[in-house]
Structure 1
Amino acid sequence: MRGKRTLLVAALWLGTIASALAVVHTTQRSRALTAELVEAQKIRDELRFEQERLLLEKGAWSAYSRIEKVARDELNMHVPSPDERVLVPAE
């Protein structure tokens, strides 16, 4: 009887140690994943900021007034006068 009791106590003791080690491992893994999540959220926020900046820049570059200025200044284009206009008949 005493041998069975000693074996039971040893098994419970090993189970408790295994459970404690599992808790430590799970806690460490949870902390690592939380840190990874925080880093991923930081990168997401930086990318959102960059996207908003690029959308604003795209809007500025494609503004009609800027396109007209580039056409006039850099490409030497102008609005045609009435005598320069040619109407092409529709078929």
Structure 2
Amino acid sequence: MRIVVFVLILANVATAIGVVYARHEHRQLFIAFKHLERERDELNIDFGRLQLEQATWAESNRIDQVARNRLGMAFPSADETVVVRP
């Protein structure tokens, strides 16, 4: 009878330790999860900013301005245009 009681007490203690360990592990994983969520949100904000910046740099007016000012490009005049027909 004593052996059965001892085994039950031992099983009870082992189960309690298992529960404490599982809760601790859950807390650690939850903290890591929240950290990753926060990092994901920050990356999404940065991605949105970069998309906006890309759209700004790719505007046709901006490209035309850079082509004229930095590269010295201009539309050819009518007498400089040659039409090639097959």
Same structural fold, with TM-score higher than 0.5 when normalized by the shorter chain: yes
- Give unpaired runs (5+ residues) of structure 1: none
> Computing the radius of gyration over CA atoms, which structure comes out larger, 1 or 2?
1
Q: How do residues 10-89 of structure 1 correspond to structure 2 at under 5 angstroms?
A: 10-89=6-85
Q: Distance in 1 between matches of 2:81 and 2:54?
A: 32
Sequence identity, in percent? 36
| Other structure's SS at 1:76 match | coil
What amino acid maps onto 1:18 in structure 2? A
- Taking structure 2 as the reference length, what is the TM-score of the superposition? 0.95
Task: Say what the alpha-carbon RMSD is for the aligned residues.
Answer: 0.8
- Give unpaired runs (5+ residues) of structure 2: none
Shift of 1:34: 0.2
* Aligned positions, number: 86
| Runs of 4+, deviation exceeding 3 Å | none
Q: Distance in 2 between matches of 1:81 and 1:42?
A: 56
Could you report, residue by residue, the CA deviation over 1:45-79 in whole angstroms, capped at 9, with x for unpaired residues?
11111111111111011000000000011011111
